[in-house]
Amino acid sequence: MAQKHVGYHVLPEHYPYVAKALLGAIAEVMGEAVNDEVLAAWGEAYWFLAGLLQEREHGIREAIEAVDGGWNGWRAFEIAERTVESAVITSFVLRPKDGGKVLPHKPGQYLTLRLTTPDQGEIRRNYTISNAPNETAYRISVKREEGGQGGSRFLHDVARVGTTIQLTPPSGDFFLPQAQERPVVLLSGGVGLTPMVSMLETIADKHPELETAFVHGALDGASHAMDGHVRALAKAHGKTSVATFYAQPAANDEAGRTHDHDGLITVDWLKANTPFETADFFLCGPRPFLKAFVGGLSRAGVASERIHFEFFGPADEALAV
Ligand SMILES: Cc1cc2nc3c(=O)[nH]c(=O)nc-3n(C[C@H](O)[C@H](O)[C@H](O)COP(=O)(O)OP(=O)(O)OC[C@H]3O[C@@H](n4cnc5c(N)ncnc54)[C@H](O)[C@@H]3O)c2cc1C
């Protein structure tokens, strides 16, 4: 939660607003069942937790600012490159407008973007960094979503090379550790491949001996992004296997040519084709995907400390029924 707050640039002066809204809501919902004493106890509990969070957030901000390329709060970046990766996913390379360095992220971390959209005004959205840590630029790869407030539609349809976007520094605690020793399985569905591509670029560059399996599920060939890049990285690395699954192959998709397998990834397939007994599993994908694999891997005997996952929505909703 502290990482999320730093990403959204939540500051100590914002906490009283939440306290007022929360205590007000408790009083309204509970009605006569709540008295001043109970409300005061809730207030005390809130401010106790707020104190812990503020301390942690202060520590994270200080640590980020202390690193070369680090910054605090919003910083102006511009879109330096734009690459269409598939029918639904486009990548954007973001460089600081001040010409300075960027803070090297941990592979798997995300940025928070402040976007000014024509319909909704200012909105904030998280996007995982899809390139390896470096000092000059971040790349994000964004799926265009129909409906909603239109952060992704703004990036796809309105933003151009040269458009300015405000960013807070990379955050998040889903990342490939620098000293990764166990083999890794990078398991993704759809646009959930973004942290995996950042991790794979890092592995290809910094972990020549790390046994790696990149396993990806896409809908079909038209929506499948970054396949050429992933296969080139795997080839250069030499210890990475790649397997792709299409859930609904189109007429011009053909297993063995455009992708490896028809259908969905299964735990049984992972057992037979990845270093299942020893690997760390990094997972990212839509909710049904995460529910299937977090539960499935665990039932198949993978210890919880070997299962790491990211969800592109509120964390507490990832495994909700
Ligand atoms: C840590 C993290 C990392 C992420 N990384 C990436 C990434 O690398 N690439 C990427 O493409 N995305 C990523 N996301 C998702 C991204 O932040 C946005 O959520 C996504 O782009 C959609 O934003 P939007 O403004 O276009 O649509 P939103 O306004 O967020 O709407 C998204 C969808 O939800 C539906 N919706 C919205 N509100 C409601 C409602 N009240 N009831 C029912 N349905 C509703 C909309 O119709 C739409 O289909 C990440 C999210 C997180 C939390």
Please name the helix (run of DSSP H) or strand (run of DSSP E) that holds residue 148, with its range, or none.
none
52 C-beta neighbours (distance < 10 Å), count: 12
Do 105 and 191 share a structural domain?
no
Question: Is residue 11 in some structural domain?
Answer: yes
- The CATH number of whichever domain residue 33 belongs to comes to 1.10.490.10
Q: In the sheet where 240-246 sits, what is the strand order?
A: 261-262, 240-246, 212-218, 184-189, 280-284, 307-310
Give the tens place of pLDDT for each residue, 228-276.
999 999 999 999 999 999 999 999 999 999 999 999 999 999 999 999 9
| 286 and 190 both lie in a single domain | yes
> For residue 118, is pLDDT > 90?
no
Q: Give tens-digit pLDDT for 73-107.
A: 999 999 999 999 999 999 999 999 999 999 999 99
In this structure, the chain runs to a length of 321
Predicted confidence (pLDDT) at residue 41 exceeds the cutoff of 60:
yes
The residue among 171, 206, 240 that closes a domain is 171
End-to-end CA distance of the chain: 22
205 and 306 belong to one structural domain: yes
288-301: average pLDDT: 96
Question: Residue 312 and residue 168: Cα distance in Å, rounded?
Answer: 18
- Average pLDDT estimate for 29-53: 92
Q: What is the pLDDT of residues 204-224, one digit of tens each?
A: 999 999 999 999 999 999 999
Ligand 1 pocket check for 110: Cβ under 6 Å: yes
Among protein residues, the one whose CA lies closest to atom 39 of ligand 1: 148
**Of 15, 32, 66, which residue constitutes the final position of a domain?**
66
Q: Nearest 5°: CA angle at 260, between 257 and 265?
A: 155
Residues 210 and 239 in one domain: yes
Tell me the pLDDT band of 288, cut-offs 50, 70 and 90: very high
Q: What is the pLDDT at residue 203?
A: 98
Catalytic residue among 15, 110, 127, 138: 15
For residues 53 and 47, give the distance between their C-alpha atoms in angstroms, rounded to a whole number: 10
Q: Is residue 176 part of a domain?
A: no
Q: Check residue 149 and give its pLDDT.
A: 78
| C-alpha–C-alpha distance, residues 106 and 203, integer Å | 12
Please report the beta strands in the chain, taking only residues with DSSP state E, as ranges in sequence order.
75-84, 89-96, 110-117, 121-128, 138-143, 164-171, 184-189, 212-218, 240-246, 261-262, 280-284, 307-310
If asked whether residues 203 and 300 sit together in one domain, one would say yes
Query: CATH code at 277?
Result: 3.40.50.80
Q: Are 108 and 199 in contact (CB under 8 A)?
A: yes
pLDDT of residue 32: 87
Residue 316 has pLDDT above 80, yes or no: no
What's the CA-to-centroid distance between 313 and ligand 1, angstroms? 7
* Residues 108, 27 within the same domain: no
Do residues 82 and 158 touch, judged by C-beta distance below 8 A?
no
In this structure, is residue 270 part of a structural domain?
Answer: yes
Mutate to test the pocket of ligand 1, among 111, 125, 310 (most ligand atoms within 8 A of CB): 125
Name which residue sits closest to atom 21 of ligand 1, judged by CA.
Answer: 152
The count of domains in the chain is 3
The pLDDT, as a whole number, for residue 59 is: 93
Q: What is the CATH number of the domain that holds 119?
A: 2.40.30.10
57 is catalytic: yes
Query: Model confidence over 138-164: pLDDT tens digits?
Result: 999 999 999 877 999 999 999 999 999
In a domain, 179, yes or no: no
One domain, residues 309 and 208: yes
Q: What would the mean pLDDT of 298-313 be, rounded to a whole number? A: 95
**Is 297 contained in some domain?**
yes
Instruction: Please tell me the distance between residue 239's alpha carbon and the centre of ligand 1 in angstroms.
Output: 34
Residue 319 binned pLDDT confidence (cut-offs 50, 70, 90) = low
**Predicted confidence (pLDDT) per residue in 163-206, tens digit:** 999 999 999 999 999 999 999 999 999 999 999 999 999 999 99
Is residue 82 located within the same domain as residue 143? yes
The Cα 167–Cα 188 span in angstroms is 25
Say yes or no: 218 and 296 in one domain: yes
Domain that holds residue 34: 2-66
Confirm whether 283 is domain-assigned: yes
190 ligand 1 Cβ < 6 A: no
Kindly report the pTM of this predicted structure: 0.92
- Residue 177 falls inside a structural domain: no
Residue-level pLDDT at 315: 63
Burial of 285 (0-12, 13-18, 19+ CB in 10 A): buried
Residue 321 has pLDDT above 60, yes or no: no
Give residues with Cβ within 8 angstroms of 37, minimum separation 6: none
Q: Are residues 311 and 193 in the same domain?
A: yes
Give pLDDT, residue 296.
97
- In this structure, the answer to whether residues 38 and 98 fall within a common structural domain is no
Helix, strand, or coil (residue 126): strand
- Our CA dihedral for 201, 202, 205, 209, rounded to 10 degrees, sits at -110
| Residue 234 domain flag | yes
Domain boundary among the residues 171, 193, 220 is at: 171
Q: Which of 114, 312, 316 to mutate to test the pocket of ligand 1 (most atoms within 8 A of CB)?
A: 312
Residue 303: pLDDT band by 50, 70, 90 thresholds?
A: very high
